[in-house]
Chain A
Amino acid sequence: MAREAGAEVVLRLDGITKRFGALVANDAISFELRRGEVIALLGENGAGKTTLMNILFGHYTADAGTVEVFGHPLPPGHPRAALAAGVGMVHQHFTLADNMTVLENILLGTGTLLSPRLGSGAARARVARLSRDFGLSVDPGARVGTLSVGERQRVEILKALYRDARILILDEPTAVLTPQETTALFETLRKAVALGLSVIFISHKLGEVMAISARVLVLRHGRLVGAVATADTDRHKLAEMMVGAEITAPKLSDHTPGPALLTLSNVDTPRRGNAPGLNAVNLTLRAGQITGLAGVSGNGQAALAALIGGLESPAHGGMELHGVVPADWSPRAALAAGIARIPEDRHRTGTVADFTLTENAVLECYAEAPFSRKGWMDWAAAEGFARKIIETYDVRCPGPAARIRLLSGGNMQKLILGRALEAGPKIILANQPVRGLDIGAVTFVHNRLIAARDAGAAVLLISEDLDEVMALSDVIHVIYEGRLSPAFARGTMSPAELGTWMAGHGFGEESDAA
């Protein structure tokens, strides 16, 4: 690593501070990036990594501090200035227009808007060359809406390279990739570094950080708490720096699972927009067992969650609940059958932001006594229920009459969890239950799920974090393009083996025929 130490400084952040209301998202952060260097920016969700990079790229303006690129100060608040200075950003949520082609997305905003022509001939050749040089294969004429997640990410990287980016920022780039695709991405990054580019790699996954970076910067609660050469550290030390305490892995006691509570046999569901439907899925959820669902995002997890949550009915195949085929299928029917649901997106589907905690607490049971009698609401009963959840699940809030939008993500999730578990469910559908939560809330949610399992509930844990799935599950399925792998018992598969399944290997010949 001696080479980097002497190399030219391409980027210097000095005293960057950013507040959102009372929250200090970035607290006087300073660091330097050198030519040909990969820095990993490590931190938990909510530690301030993305905010910092959004300031660097000009999406946000800092309250204090300066950014210098190649020795020149960068005017704050202008992505255009950042792009012109050679900074390119690959956003976690892709910034692509689905109705346009790859080439059009790359060309967007590159020349003067008022030029009479798009001039795509030369551009196409240039994109082809960049694709070859960096190992980013993608068809420039394809509509972005038809591309896979991995291909979209390549378009994002090409967008930056097409603009001659010298500094690449990648925000959680591996969250949507299979382990194999991640390896390919790292290959691309190594090529970029060899050509003299510098990279900032944002992640909360320790293994990846160790694999790709030369230096690691650790953020915690908006502050830079450590900067170390990767060679001088290890996963354990990084983890401690990241969370400020030692992480204790959740413990699963051994016990024999109970009877099947929910069985899917050969179930198909229709495709919804870009999201694949289920394809001949067989699944059994057993009492006292956590079933983990691993897979790259967008491979049918949403379809399975919608099916079990009551939002979607099987187009083909059978579903049995407690040994009986349900007569009609809706969210209400699912709730009545004792299925508790923790939705993937707590803001969009889990809560009504402008409702109070009380109103949110009864969202799934408002129509039943004691909360509703003959069409009239009993708000006293509803508030009592909300108070009970607030106490039992340690929801930190001003009170049951506060609007839920004022709560942090963790406390919002605790309310959802309480709402779901208070009814004493037989089956729990936990879709990304800890996404975006801090470590304390993660542990809380995990322990509650394990407690429910030990009490005899069947839990389906859907997560894009393979580590989480492997740590919590008694059995694991992999989902790929709407199809389910066989069940793998705990401890029988390595991450790499599961990764092969996540990339679609092992699903047999039908997938190619289709």
Chain B
Amino acid sequence: MDILDILLSASFWAATVRIASPLIFATLGELICERAGVLNLGIEGIMVIGAFAGWMAVYLGTGLWAGVAVAMLAGMLFGLLHATLTVPFGLSQHVVGLGITLLATATASFAYRLSLPEVTSPPKIEPFQPLEIPGLSQIPLLGPALFSQTALTYLAFVLIVVVSVVLYRTPLGLALRAAGENPASVEAQGLSVTAIRMGAVIVGSGLMGVGGAFLTMSAFSSFFFEMVNGRGWICIALVVFGAWRPGKAALGALLFAAFDALQVRLQQTPMGALIPYQVFLMVPYVLSILALVLMSRRAEVPAALMVPFNKGER
């Protein structure tokens, strides 16, 4: 099997879309935060807590969608903490973000051990099943890739459109973008910068939670420590790569996922056997750094990203 065979296989494209889905959720979440002017480095931990909370809820007997809601709420809770510390209090977004990641990760680990003290391998849940879209899923190559995915994947792709429309076509999106560009413009037009930024961080963190839940509820069926494994940091790179635009960022996630799916398959080729598997596993991280290097000069960073706004400050 060589690269061409891989690229022409339906399973490759299906895997690409599947791998991209959690990244799309979390990247959109991060993008919303950053567009409002807040860098959310809590993303890695929030994805962990989302993965854990959604899975645990389903394990305890809620439905799958209720599990997604629980994951989102868990994300929003840590988002609320992040937002409170960074927006009205104006604390360093670097320090708070890393602190949130540590706290959320530790909370997930603690809760896991507390609820399952004796288990050696985590229990499995019944995850989301692929939903075949009648007719469309029969298209060769495209069908299995796009129209034979789980409901959460479809939701991810719907969200790209929703976030784009809200950002660029509604008063709310206008206010959000203005808050990240020049908060004084929002304040002077009678809106609350604090409310908009906090709302953005909370909603964005909710999406990160769902992104984490995708891992335990759609991609796999149980929760492992370190299962997020840097995906959150990769999403931050994807936001930069996408120049803070939802469509481009999602495209970046797909491109990235394609490389990831490719490296997994290349490992199993005769050529892959010659190269240590660790080199393949490095691909996502190296690609992210490459993406940052390529885009950082060109991208239009929100002008007030990481700049706190304190009303009435002289």
Contact = CB atoms under 8 A, between A and B. Distances in A.
A touches B (Cβ under 8 A)? yes
Most buried by B among A60, A97, A108, A115: A97
B175 A109 contact: yes
B187 interface: yes
Main SS of chain B's interface residues? helix
B175 A108 contact: yes
Given A80-B190, A104-B174, A110-B189, A95 B169 contact: no
A99 B178 CA distance: 8
A374 interface: no
A100 B187 contact: no
Contacts of A513: none
A89 interface: yes
Interface in B172-187: 172, 174-175, 177-178, 181-182, 184-187
Nearest to B171: A113
Given A99-B177, A113-B172, A59 B187 contact: yes
Contact of B184 (A93, A114, A115): A93
B170 interface: yes
A20 interface: yes
B95 interface: no
A205 interface: no
B187 A105 contact: no
Contacts of B190: 78-84, 109
A93 B188 CA distance: 11
A100 B181 contact: yes
A118 interface: yes
Q: How large is the interface on A (under 10, 10 to 19, 20 to 34, 35 or more residues)?
A: 35 or more
A98 B312 contact: no
A506 interface: no
Contacts of B189: 79, 83, 95, 108-110, 159
Interface in B268-314: 300, 302-303, 311-312, 314
B191 interface: yes
A95 B174 contact: no
A60 B312 contact: yes
Interface string A209-224: 0000000000000000
A171 to B, nearest CB: 11
A84 B188 CA distance: 12
Nearest to A91: B188
A20 B314 contact: yes
A107 interface: yes
A91 B181 CA distance: 17
A114 B191 contact: no
B153 to A, nearest CB: 26
A510 to B, nearest CB: 31
B181 to A, nearest CB: 4
Contacts of A47: none
Interface in B154-202: 169-172, 174-175, 177-178, 181-182, 184-191
Nearest to B199: A113
A117 interface: yes
B252 to A, nearest CB: 20
A117 B168 CA distance: 10
Given A107-B171, A114-B172, A115-B171, A95 B188 contact: yes
A116 to B, nearest CB: 6
Contact of A97 (B169, B170, B178, B314): B178
Contacts of B314: 20
A109 B191 CA distance: 6
A431 interface: no
A96 interface: yes
B184 A113 contact: no
A100 B168 CA distance: 10
B191 A80 contact: yes
B311 A97 contact: no
A17 interface: no
Contacts of B312: 54, 59-61
B181 A98 contact: yes
Interface centre among B184, B190, B191, B314, by most A CB within 10 Å? B190
A97 B171 contact: no
B185 A95 contact: yes
B307 to A, nearest CB: 13
B303 A99 contact: yes
A100 B314 CA distance: 26
Q: Which of A98, A99, A110 has the most CB of B within 10 A?
A: A99
A104 B177 CA distance: 11
A492 interface: no
Counting chain A CB atoms within 10 Å of each CB, which of B170, B185, B186, B312 scores highest?
Answer: B185
A159 to B, nearest CB: 7
Interface string A50-79: 000010010111000000000000000011
Contacts of B172: 113-114
Given A60-B312, A107-B171, A113-B171, A97 B177 contact: yes
A100 B178 contact: yes
Contacts of A89: 188
15 contacts: A54-B312, A79-B189, A79-B190, A83-B189, A91-B184, A95-B187, A95-B188, A96-B185, A97-B178, A98-B303, A108-B186, A110-B171, A111-B171, A113-B171, A115-B171
Interface of B: 169-172, 174-175, 177-178, 181-182, 184-191, 300, 302-303, 311-312, 314
